[in-house]
Amino acid sequence: MQIVLSHSLEKPRILFVSGIIVAPPNSEPEQSTVHCLRFRSILQEKPHGPLIQKPTFHPVLESDTGYDISPPVHGLLCCYSNNKSVICNPSSGRYFDLPDVTQASEFFLGFDPVCNVLKVLSMAKYDSCSETRVLTLIPDGNRVWQTLDSLVPHMSTSHGLCLGGKIYYIALREDYITNFLMCYNLQTEEFSIISLPQEIEVENYFLYRSCDMLVTFNGKLAIARDENEDGALTIWNLEEDGTTCFLPRYESVIDQYVIYHDPNKQIVEKVRIEGDFRDFAGSIEPFLDYIENPALIPIGPPF
């Protein structure tokens, strides 16, 4: 396994991921099915000409289990299920397995810009506890999980977002009522707690677990909530200037689009994605700030 951390000259893209279950070619009826992750991406920047984007197709990752996805970091994804996880590069079509952990867990991928290394943070998925694990992805080195104490029993209720050498995620205290923002410093490996807006701090965990998401806007951390059937978003701590890119969460629709909002000019534009997503069954999960970087993980099993 080889990891080369280089800065891609490519512009940020929007990565679309869909998990589907298919039968192997020429398989017998009694044979097991295969889980596939399909990837497609478009440029994140709004086009200056016709409001249409042409997607790029990426290799398909096949496995014997379905995966949850941690947001991309340096062109890489951390895909995980139960106590298993893999790091994959949709651009190069390569991946490698991480050591198993002892229980069903969440996995967050991050990058330490000071030491120039990637790290994976892991914690129990269904239990509130203070114990977490971290694994440093050292080229050709031993991959061993180290145990850390976050000092506060909690469980994550959102994806982890890597920003400025730190991993942020929304956490729930062991009372299952109080929420806070947990910050993990990838260099010092220390945890800190950040208070949330009052509307999010105390609320029904079971109602909003799947609605709150961490996003970046002009390099700043923000929280968006998609809780309306008409696609409207509630956003906290959003900067006032700049253009926001909204990504509807698709459910196997043929016509795909991205919405751009410029609050200064009060302009909302819909950009259609060329072609269709007929091969994307089930829900389609979009990720911002994806960078195509084939130099990462050039050696390893292909998808």
256-292 pLDDT tens trace:
777 777 767 777 777 877 766 666 666 778 888 888 8
User: What Cα–Cα distance (Å) separates residue 89 from each residue in 73, 76, 98?
Assistant: 10, 5, 14
Q: Check residue 145 and give its pLDDT.
A: 95
d(CA 110, CA 72): 9
Report phi then psi at 177, rounded to 5.
-125, -45
Q: Check residue 237 and give its pLDDT.
A: 58
d(CA 147, CA 235): 34
- Sorting pLDDT into bands at 50, 70 and 90, what band is 146? very high
SS3 content of the chain, % helix, strand, coil (to 5): 5, 50, 45
Average pLDDT of the chain, as a whole number: 76
Residues 61 and 76 sit within 8 Å (Cβ to Cβ): no
Q: Check residue 188 and give its pLDDT.
A: 95
**Residue 25 pLDDT exceeds 70:** no
Q: Check residue 67 and give its pLDDT.
A: 83
Highest mean pLDDT among 19-23, 36-40, 133-137: 133-137
**Residue 26 pLDDT exceeds 80:** no
Q: Is 199 helix (H, G, I), strand (E, B) or coil?
A: helix
Quick one: CA dihedral 81, 24, 40, 245, positive or negative? negative
**Residue 213 pLDDT exceeds 60:** yes
Amino acid found at 70: S
Task: Give the global pTM.
Answer: 0.80
Report phi then psi at 180, rounded to 5.
-150, 170
Token pair for 280: 């994307």
Residues 20 and 33 sit within 8 Å (Cβ to Cβ): no
Instruction: Scan for tokens 């970046």, then name that residue.
Output: 216
Domains annotated on the chain, with CATH: 13-290 (2.120.10)
